[in-house]
A and B are shown apart, each in its own frame.
Chain A
Amino acid sequence: MRKNQNEIQNVLGRYEAGQMDRRSFVQSLGLLGVSTFVANAVVQSPLGATKALAAIGGPEERAWALAKEAAAKATKKTLTVLIPTGSIGNMTPYTKRWKEELGIELKFIEEPDEVVHTKGMQEAVAKTGTYDVMMPTAMSYPDWIESGVIHDLTDWVKEYDPELFNPEWGVVFPASHHAQLYNGRVAGLLCDGDQITVLCRDDYLKNPDKMKAFADKYGYALGVPKTWKEYHNLAQFMHDPSNKFFGSLEYRSRYYVKWMFMQRLISKGRLYFDQEVNPTFNSDEGIAALEDMLALNPYLHPDAFSFTWSSNYNAFGRGEGFMNIVWPSGFKYSKAPTTGPATTGKIVATVMPADTLKDGSLLYAGMFCWGYGYAVSKYSANPELAYAYAQWMTSPTISMDAIPYLGGYSDPYRANHMLAPTQRMMETYSPEYLRTLYDNMVNTVPDFCLPGGFEYQDALDKEVHACMTGDKKPKQALDDAARTFDRITRKIGKDKVRKSWLALAKNLADPIKKASGADRWS
């Protein structure tokens, strides 16, 4: 910890009293051992310098102190991080510092993103000790904890406090719980705020001819969709296939289509299971969700059935559609002139549309889907150092600095990323979009972050896709998926899945708990 607290307090006091400009303040803090990241974050924080330094600098500082201690003791001077391909850009800017100041070489092993989970499960068997830190999605934690391949981080979190749950700069609730905890214990530290939002072409929304025609046809003003009904109307209205411009680019392809269904399902106030982990998606709401999707199919991009995220983003960036449902990286794509030549400066985003519940009220719900995080391997030679790396990279300050770098998947996930962003963060996204992300994130429902989560998702995906291609009717597809779910639950053990499911459901946002009835679960 810093030995020169008095001098730092003196600088903070002078800055708050207006006796120093920003530049001198950052320089002075730097001379006193405060990192540039922290100093810059303090300058921009709306909390005031003293409070900001105490708060947001803490996790980084504590992690660094632990890293120094662990690095000095380490016999192996390499820290190996298993990461999905394409994510390295958020990490490479810090390798020099770790090498020069700690003597630790950061080595990254990239694997295709769909392989990372398998590699972790393989490590549980092989026990090679190759990886120190692993970067899976939140869905991997249950299986990885159960197989004993990663550490439970709870004790480290208590000791070094990464301030995961702080309402001002912690990870936004409920993702703070869904994407980091397994059965109430910390399994990993989130480093990627993967959630989906709707993007629309603002230039079309502001076109006077379209505004008039839309109002004439639908009886309300043209604007971003607030409900799924409005979303459908917009796709229908803007669909212009003769000019190769399509209503929406949302996915109908394998692997992605389940999220489109899950999103609509939760918008209707239905979760995936009931209290006893019986599947509930093969209900009236589930069938209605699939029927909504089928009704939208005529207004989709013709490649919707084969889109991957990159081909989807490219098509939207080329100006081939009015709306899209994207992860935050999709916004960055459509904002950058190189990847969004037709969309740069012409995009407006909104939270996921609401659906109307039986009582007539609107329910806003989002999907927190995918979301990478750092986990510490049980077979690491330096687990404390590995944890220190995870906490340092995900601290409010370093993460604020890391996210805007190009060539990585990291997107905003802490409250300060969205509510008190730095200039670079605002330039990478936009103040409006960051606010939209926050508003959406507070109502998110997680993936199947349960034991066997990937099996559940794949089973659902397969049947939803079969329905979209016309191979199965909605009811049949969902009943078939439910039967497979029951088999998976039996195989894993009902008690184990139930415990984990109830832990997830306990931390849902209140409106979703209430609408789904989960607020009455014991």
Chain B
Amino acid sequence: MPSRRLSPLLGLLLILALVVTLFPVFWIVMTALKPPTDWNAVPAVWIPAKPTLVNFRTLFDPEAIREYGVGGVSQSASAAVFGSLLASTVSTALSILIGLLAAIGLSRYSSGSTATPLIILSGRMFPPAAIAVPFVIIFSAAHIIDTYSGLIAIYVAATVPFSTWMLKSFVDDLPREIEEAAMVDGQSRLMAHLTVTMPLIRGGLFATTLFIFILNWSDFMFALVLSYGRIATIPVQLAKYVTATAGTLYGVQAALAVLAMIPLVLAGFAIQSHLARGMTFGAIKR
């Protein structure tokens, strides 16, 4: 049995990797707690002597930061937080639903031709910048530009190829004999997939859901191009924290970034036990 002890060198490398990985998070959290005078200080202020929550308050009360002489902040982030939660949650759910059905169809029933999976994936071969403007034209004609339904539609369209392919690999790895046994016991095809396939690939399902949610949550390009003031998301809102009197509001941006991290971290912790399995599921091909 291989030793479970880490060699000192490997341990050191892991610590280094941990520091490199966590440093941006540390810096963002510290910046979110700094008063405006510390944002650009030279030498850099690593840990604020007088931490403040003013940056967080400014997110929802733009006038809050005036106490530090910074004016010109006009936008509350509440609409953006709501918009991101709505668009990301609904589009992720739809993407997973469509992706799962497509994955089962492709894996178990060889739907379409052999080229079908590739055709589905081809949607991801275009860079978002190249397809954003055509979408503006189409969505304008359909009167869904600057609406959450439009944003959700494009998020679903953009992520279904991923969800289909990822989930297909998990379904492929599941012996179809288990589902067939359920059907022999009298279950319909749909019930067999609901009661047998889905529980058995739940690790992969959770991992895929988190991956798709992160994609939607962090999208900038589509949200920027398709929004005209009625809808907002966090990544676009982040770019708006600039004022003529104070330049880029690093502290406020960091505060919003900290808020933006929370759902992802919570989701990660909540499904941690499934994640490891999901990430390694299908690593060994039958």
Q: Footprint of B on A, CB under 8 Å?
A: 80, 85-89, 92, 107-113, 115, 119, 122, 125-128, 130-131, 308-311, 313-315, 318, 320, 329, 332, 336, 338-339, 406-409
Contact between A88 and B146 (Cβ–Cβ < 8 Å)?
Answer: no
Q: Which of chain A's residues have a CB closer than 8 A to the CB of B72?
A: 86-89, 406-408
Asked if residues B75 and A110 are in contact (CB atoms below 8 Å), the reply is yes
- Residue pairs across A and B with Cβ atoms less than 8 A apart, 28 shown, are A80-B229, A85-B241, A85-B243, A86-B72, A86-B242, A89-B245, A110-B74, A110-B75, A110-B240, A111-B240, A125-B133, A128-B140, A128-B228, A130-B146, A308-B247, A308-B248, A309-B247, A310-B246, A313-B247, A314-B40, A318-B40, A318-B42, A320-B42, A338-B69, A406-B71, A406-B72, A407-B244, A409-B244
Q: Inside 8 A of A111's CB, which chain B residues have their CB?
A: 240
CB-defined interface of B51-75 with A at 8 Å, one 1/0 digit per residue? 0000000000000000011011111
Q: Please indicate the chain B residues that have their CB under 8 angstroms from the CB of A332 in the complex.
A: 245
Determine whether the beta carbon of A126 is less than 8 Å from that of B136: yes
Specify which of A80, A130, A314, A320 is in contact with B247 (CB 8 Å cutoff): A314
Complex Cα distance A125/B228, Å? 13
> In the bound complex, do residue A88 and residue B136 qualify as a contact, i.e. CB atoms below 8 Å apart?
no
Contact between chains at A85 and B240 (CB < 8 Å):
yes
Instruction: Name the B residues within 8 Å of A407 (CB-CB).
Output: 71-73, 243-245
Total of A-B residue pairs, C-beta within 8 Å: 95
Contact of A112 among B42, B68, B242, B243 (CB under 8 A): B242
Partner of A126, one of B137, B239, B240, B244: B137
Q: Is the CB of B158 closer than 8 A to any CB of chain A?
A: no
Contacts of A339 in B (CB 8 A): 245-246
Q: How far is the CB of B48 from chain A (nearest CB, A)?
A: 17
Known: A122-B133, A122-B136, A125-B136. A85 touches B242 (CB 8 A): yes
A110 to B249 Cα, complex, angstroms:
15
Contact partner of A109 (CB less than 8 A), chosen from B145, B228, B239, B241, is B228
Using Cβ atoms and an 8 Å threshold, which residues of chain B touch A112? 239-240, 242
Q: How far is the CA of A282 from the CA of B140 in the complex (A)?
A: 43
Q: CA–CA, A80 to B228, complex, Å?
A: 11
A338→B73 CA distance, assembly (Å)? 17
Q: Mark B222-234, 1 if CB is under 8 A from A, else 0.
A: 0011001110000
A409 CA / B245 CA spacing, docked (Å): 8
* A329 lies within 8 A of B240 (CB): no
For the complex, what is the distance from the CA of A406 to the CA of B69, rounded to whole Å? 10
Q: How distant is A337 from chain B, measured CB to nearest CB, in Å? A: 9
Known interface pairs A126-B140, A310-B246; A115-B224 also in contact (CB < 8 Å): yes
A339-B249 Cα distance, complex, nearest whole Å: 13
Q: Which residues in window 238-273 of B have CB below 8 A to A?
A: 239-248
Separation of A86 and B74 alpha carbons in the complex (Å): 9
Contacts of B73 in A (CB 8 A): 407
Q: Which residues of B contact A88 (CB under 8 A)?
A: 72, 74
Q: Known contacts A406-B71, A406-B72, A408-B72; decide if A87 and B244 are in contact (CB<8 Å).
A: yes
A309 to B248, CA, bound (A): 9
Chain B contact residues, majority secondary structure: loop
Question: From residue 7 to 64 of chain B, which have CB atoms closer than 8 A to chain A?
Answer: 40, 42
The 10 closest A-B pairs by CB, nearest first: A310-B247, A407-B72, A407-B71, A109-B229, A126-B140, A89-B72, A130-B228, A406-B71, A338-B69, A86-B242
B225 vs chain A, min Cβ distance (A):
7
B residues whose Cβ falls under 8 Å from a Cβ of A = 40, 42, 68-69, 71-75, 133, 136-137, 139-140, 145-146, 224-225, 228-230, 239-248
For A113, the closest partner residue in chain B by CB is: B242
Q: Return A81 CB to nearest CB of chain B, in Å.
A: 10
Task: Decide: B244 and A329 in contact? CB cutoff 8 A.
Answer: yes
- Residue pair B145, A89 in contact (C-beta under 8 Å): no
Given A112-B240, A112-B242, the answer on whether A311 and B146 have CB atoms closer than 8 Å is: no
Indicate if the CB atoms of A125 and B40 lie closer than 8 Å. no
Who on chain B is nearest to A119 by CB?
Answer: B228
Chain A residues, CB < 8 A from B137: 125-126
Q: Does the CB pair A408–B146 fall under 8 Å?
A: no
Give every chain B residue within 8 A of A89 (Cβ-Cβ).
71-72, 243-245
Which residues of the partner chain A approach B242 to less than 8 Å between Cβ atoms? Answer: 85-86, 112-113, 310
**Distance between Cα atoms of A126 and B141 in the complex (Å):** 8
| Distance in angstroms between the alpha carbons of A108 and B74 in the assembled complex | 9
Return A228 CB to nearest CB of chain B, in Å.
Answer: 28
Q: How far is the CB of A46 from chain B (nearest CB, A)?
A: 29
Collect the chain B residues with CB atoms within 8 Å of residue A329's CB.
Answer: 244
Nearest chain A residue, comparing its CB with the CB of B74: A88
Q: How far is the CB of A273 from chain B (nearest CB, A)?
A: 29
Residue of B nearest to A122 (CB): B136
Chain B residues within an 8 Å CB radius of A87: 72, 244
> What are the residues of chain A within 8 A of B230 when measuring CB–CB?
130
- C-alpha spacing A362/B115, complex, angstroms: 71
Residue among B71, B72, B240, B241 facing the most chain A CB atoms (10 A cut-off) = B72
Please measure, in the bound complex, the distance between the C-alpha atom of A408 and the C-alpha atom of B245, giving whole angstroms.
7
Identity of the chain A residue whose Cβ is nearest the Cβ of B225 in the assembled complex: A122
Contacts of A113 on B, CB cut-off 8 Å?
242
CA distance A86 to B241 in the complex (A): 8
Q: Are A128 and B145 in contact (CB under 8 A)?
A: yes
Chain B: CB-nearest residue to A92: B74
Most buried by A among B136, B140, B224, B245: B245
Contact residues in B for A86 (Cβ distance below 8 Å)? 72, 242-244
A131 to B145, CA, bound (A): 14
Chain A residues whose C-beta falls within 8 Å of the C-beta of B139 in the assembled complex: 126
Min CB–CB distance B52 → chain A (angstroms): 16
CA distance A375 to B140 in the complex (A): 22
Identify 15 new A-B residue pairs, CB closer than 8 A, beyond the known A109-B228, A130-B228, A308-B247: A85-B243, A88-B74, A92-B74, A107-B229, A112-B239, A122-B225, A125-B136, A126-B136, A127-B140, A309-B247, A329-B244, A339-B246, A406-B71, A407-B244, A408-B244
